[in-house]
Amino acid sequence: MDFTGKNVLITGGSRGIGKATALAFAKRGAKVAINFRSDKEAAKQTAQEMQGDDHIIVKADISKPNAVEALVNAVVNEFGSLDIVVNNAGIYAPHPLASTNYKEWQSTWKKTMDINLFGAANVCYCAGQQMIKQGGGRIVNVSSRGAFRGEPQHSAYGASKAALNAMSQSLAQELAPHQIFVGIIAPGFVETDMAKEILDSEVGEGIRNQSPLKRVAQPEEVAYGILFLASEGSEFMTGTILDINGASYLRS
């Protein structure tokens, strides 16, 4: 896969899946804009590790609609165009119904939806507007197997990813006439900072054993799926949800 001359925006691009994806795009010739919310040092470190020149880091909290618009405008102003967007930013906050008070329950649901769903939707809108003007583009949204099998104690996360799938497939149909192609990846557990606490806990071994490979995914494996859906030749896969879970959950 060659992305020479392509301009890429990755939300939540400073660590985990986002970092692996940024490194993979840069290795294949793309110019990459790494969006981060608060950890500037992690974003700078990722940029330093990337091959090639002219990569940028852009601070923005995608839960804020105005910040999303400013983010996309900043990338377009710097690069001149926007060819590929990866909606990777997300949160995974526990809120077990039996032990979470009502105020915390509402707060977690709002925070999760604002980032995982509404933030991604707003990025799709702002980037999609730019892609329509320039005659095409690619959007890859990072979902989860939790959208299908459920997420105990993380119900807002599961709901946000299920809604992300539905939105993505709707946009795939709507934007195809504009030569904008929308793909979705649905990883299981991945060896990232976000999953570290649960993977290091007493249930970690059980999670790894859900896959016949007896492990969880590495970020680079998920990044490869993102690159595949963003690559030339995958146009007829628009609307596809690509499972990357090591056969830990198989949809019929």
Just give the CATH number of 7-244. 3.40.50.720
What does the block give as tokens for 138?
Answer: 């690619």
**Residue-wise pLDDT tens digits, 85-96:** 999 999 999 999
Tell me, what amino acid is at 220? Answer: E
**Confidence at residue 3, expressed as pLDDT on a 0 to 100 scale:** 98
224 classed as catalytic:
no
**Residue-wise pLDDT tens digits, 190-227:** 999 888 888 999 999 999 999 999 999 999 999 999 99
Q: What residue spans define the domains of the chain?
A: 7-244
Number of residues assigned to the chain: 252
Eight-class DSSP state of 89: -
**Which of 92, 102, 125, 157 is flagged as catalytic?**
157
Using DSSP bridges, classify how beta strands 84-87 and 56-59 pair: parallel, antiparallel or unpaired.
unpaired
The whole-number mean pLDDT for each consecutive block of 10 residues of the chain, a chain of 252 residues, reads 96 96 98 97 96 96 98 98 98 96 98 98 98 98 96 96 98 98 97 87 94 97 98 98 97 87
**Confidence at residue 196, expressed as pLDDT on a 0 to 100 scale:** 85
- Cα 192 to Cα 15, 118, 130, 165, 221: the distances in Å are 8, 23, 31, 22, 12
- Cα 72 to Cα 83, 95, 122, 195: the distances in Å are 12, 32, 10, 28
219 phi and psi angles, rounded to 5 deg:
-55, -35
CA distance 33 to 98: 41
